[in-house]
Structure 1
């Protein structure tokens, strides 16, 4: 058994310097039944502490004899307002070989560094503590205010709520919409989740199917004018704000580039997933999330942060920790490990064979394809190659060049890069880490997709995509780095 000082349920405490901070700590520890000794040089203060039945002794903490006064106490809190006295106490304890756990009060960052050099284990600055507490209180108060605003919108909705995801919605967008629908239902408001484009990527389809998430294609839904309220969630990944007037709710992690006219707006660029924002609302409304809602939100956060390996914030981690006990982890495992179709395997094999790498950027031509979604999965898989930070895989289908790109390079906004590079000849969409482009082959002179001109079309796609993309990335393409 170790006889050294340890921090455990049997720890004993000494508080050196008992002003307002020390007094508050002493009372809290005493209320918890802790063994606390207080040392202070002010005799009147010590007498007052004794009158409160606190164990207090008169002692100048700047005097080296403080070491003997502390005795065998294994946690020492040095909390005097006189930082020089605190430094003297730390120095005396450490020079005498004391191995107590020392928590010491500083007055500013410089004195904090000096205290750490002398041997303090933890340094606290009351002004920073107060500021952090004030910020937490402000954040909590702001969240409460926002929740009241959202509740008023839902109570006042004259009909169902339309919740629009971004184009070709990803798990974060879908999960955010699912959570907002659950909040709306809490106020007896029915909601439809509307989307345009495709539910691409096998993981995304598995996500929707396994959780039984009801989504409605925009073309099959009533006109937005027929809904009592309209909401956009995680919408700006598409790069454009679809609705500029008559919008009731806007919740996103990305700022719109143009002014937004909405009754309720919550934009938080300091989180990495809109699912994190919606989780905070679930908590604020005191809604116990269903297994489906919790699983969707947790997957939304994990997908957006690459399983907490990319741009993860404390808020994302806190939200995920809250959701974890409610989620269906068996379903999550199924979602994250869907079977790969033969078409996807073919496209991935073609992309691997034709890959060209310049620096940390990889571009590949998958040739003629049947399933556009396979390009997305190929780009994601190739991003796992050692040394690769950005991937782009393109192919031809139905008279169009389709390109899917992924990036984990924090210096590169792949969505903006594709928009700048191909926006004049095609349609680009996406954000900083993932994006896509569609380029109609008609821009090259109306060439038809026939068996006879396949080689010509492939050559055109190479010229239109690979060279321009490498140039936009700041590197020059070549043909000798394709892994052959």
Structure 2
């Protein structure tokens, strides 16, 4: 008996996109879900096209991501013009073209993602598969492998398993039955000890200073928390700080911001009950830059030039404090 839904017509439509004379690049904004999904799509394409590579738009500095790439042998490269020139066709996984300005330089033939669709920003490509109800894109690619009767090798299964674990935060965030089914199925083939080694590689020692700044700047805004971490070397640091603050009891939502590469980067986290953080991020900052995400997790990026002369922390305090008169206080 099939444990996943049958995707025969969908798989035919996907496989029709591939030609043995074409060179494909799978484009990602690298995180565990994107890395695992890209590795799976690469496996599907490997015998159907001339060559297939993986390229990320972001600098990878999070220790768990670096450990994932190292231990699971994920052949991703930083995207530069010389790399792009080597490929004829492009696929995008775990993102949509409007999620980052760097995606706008590509004409994608395949887009596979689990993030919510945004009104007024349609996702168009010869093949698209967008499933906002799914907890991770890795679950979608696991279904693809199952339908194509591809048994994932140990490293691929581990990458997909870790991607599901990471994006559902060990099933604390939103998930549906296929996420659980995929996790159980992959567990038969994966190296769980290797996955735990990756999971335990979360922090650089020199990142502690960003935690210190965030704690010093921590404020209560209504029922939520806000902290500005100042200038950071990599936006992933803000994600780690925000995820740490989600463990604080009695805080339904929080926001952590910082400045990197002349951009204000803002990470939103919530319990998924009282406020849709994806919609909240878009309402606060969508008119100034890219903003959006899930009900419980979202992100925004705004060029500093869009703030004028205003200090980024003051700017965010005004945005978050609107309608919260007298309710902003330091912790």
**TM-score, normalised relative to structure 1:** 0.60
Matching of residue 227 in structure 1 with residue 87 in structure 2: yes
- CA apart distance, 1:423: 4.1
Match of 1:210 in 2: 71
Cα distance change, pair 400–431 in 1 and its aligned pair in 2 (3 A):
closer
Match of 2:33 in 1: 172
Offset from partner CA, 1:135-167 (integer Å, 9 cap, x none): x99942xx012122222222x3532212122xx
Number of residues of Structure 1 aligned to a counterpart in Structure 2: 326
In 1, Cα distance between equivalents of 2:90 and 2:325: 46
Match of 2:301 in 1: 437
In 1, Cα distance between equivalents of 2:175 and 2:4: 22
CA contact (8 A) 1:194 1:221 kept: no
In 1, Cα distance between equivalents of 2:100 and 2:234: 26
In 2, Cα distance between equivalents of 1:265 and 1:354: 42
| Aligned Cα root-mean-square deviation (Å) | 3.1
Structure 1 residues 439-458: aligned runs within 5 Å? 439-440=303-304, 443-445=307-309
Offset from partner CA, 1:372-429 (integer Å, 9 cap, x none): 432221111011111123222223466654433323324534344333323455x334
Offset from partner CA, 1:236-273 (integer Å, 9 cap, x none): 28636946995322222244644444332222233221
Match of 1:149 in 2: 13
In 2, Cα distance between equivalents of 1:436 and 1:202: 22
Structure 1 residues 67-146: aligned runs within 5 Å? 139-140=5-6, 143-146=7-10
- CA apart distance, 1:320: 0.7
- Which structure exhibits the higher relative contact order, with contacts defined as CA atoms closer than 8 Å and separated by 6 or more residues? 2
Match of 2:324 in 1: 475
Q: List gaps (5 residues or longer) in structure 2.
A: none
Matching of residue 381 in structure 1 with residue 244 in structure 2: yes
The counterpart of 1:296, out of the listed 118, 138, 159, is 159
Cα distance change, pair 341–253 in 1 and its aligned pair in 2 (3 A):
closer
In 1, Cα distance between equivalents of 2:91 and 2:262: 35
Matching of residue 419 in structure 1 with residue 282 in structure 2: yes
Cα distance change, pair 138–171 in 1 and its aligned pair in 2 (3 A):
closer
Instruction: Return 281-290 or 434-443, whichever deviates more.
Output: 434-443
Cα distance change, pair 409–144 in 1 and its aligned pair in 2 (3 A):
same
Q: List gaps (5 residues or longer) in structure 1.
A: 1-132, 446-456
In 1, Cα distance between equivalents of 2:261 and 2:169: 32
Larger Rg over CA atoms: 1
